[in-house]
Amino acid sequence: MDTRSAADGRGRRALAVSSLFFFFSFVGWAWEKLWFFFAYGENADRGFLFLPFCTVYGSSLVLIRALLGFPATDRRYPVNLLAFLGYAAAAALIATAAELATGLLFEHAFGARLWSYRGAPHEFCGYICLPVSVAWGMLIATAMAAVWRPLEALLMRIPVRVLAAANALLWVSVAVDFCLRAAAHF
């Protein structure tokens, strides 16, 4: 593979990962909207942005993709199960750290408390709790193997110009949205 095609492949992959950041940020927003509707009967405004994205979801998965890759699928039982559980535990730690950092940042920088696990078992500062962390680890490991990997492969086949244009539009939109929302807090 020559240098140019390797660079093109890395650029295409970066655009695919960026697209998945937005996809999973939207899925996280939709998950929270549905959770609040069915659990509490309210159509709650979820997240910090006006746009339908909870970027802590997308950011966590991008970070996990960069640090852990994908769960191993080429091993035999019981090693494959142990590897999956190890991946889930590592993913849970990364997602939990991101959740805590995001919660503290938004509370201290903007005075905005975006969620609370107060009253949940084994909670810390109301921003993280053990049962949710364990659940996220298992969901993330499953999503990375069953959803992210095939979507990334599919996105890698879309023309670079289309991916680049879509990503540029989304990044500019989110940046403007974040600035408007942040300005409203000051």
Identify the residue whose tokens are 């999973």.
24
**Strands (DSSP E) found in the chain:** 123-124, 128-129
Beta bridge partners of 123: 129
Query: Which two structure tokens, joined as six digits, stand for 112?
Result: 């905005």
The per-residue pLDDT of the chain, averaged, comes to 90
Whether residue 1 is predicted with pLDDT greater than 60 in this model: the reply is no
pLDDT tens string 116-165: 889 989 988 889 999 999 999 999 999 999 999 999 999 999 999 999 99
Nearest to 20 by CA among 143, 106, 161: 143
Q: Could you tell me if 151 and 142 are in contact, meaning their C-beta atoms sit under 8 angstroms apart?
A: no
Residue 123's contacts (CB-CB under 8 Å, 6 or more residues apart) are 117, 129, 130
At 46 the pLDDT is 78
User: What amino acid is encoded at 68 in this protein?
Assistant: L
Query: Which two structure tokens, joined as six digits, stand for 170?
Result: 């989304």
pLDDT tens string 17-74: 999 999 999 999 999 899 889 988 888 887 788 999 999 999 999 999 999 999 987 7
At 182 the pLDDT is 85
Give the integer Cα–Cα distance in Å for 72 and 131: 24
Whether residue 4 is predicted with pLDDT greater than 60 in this model: the reply is no
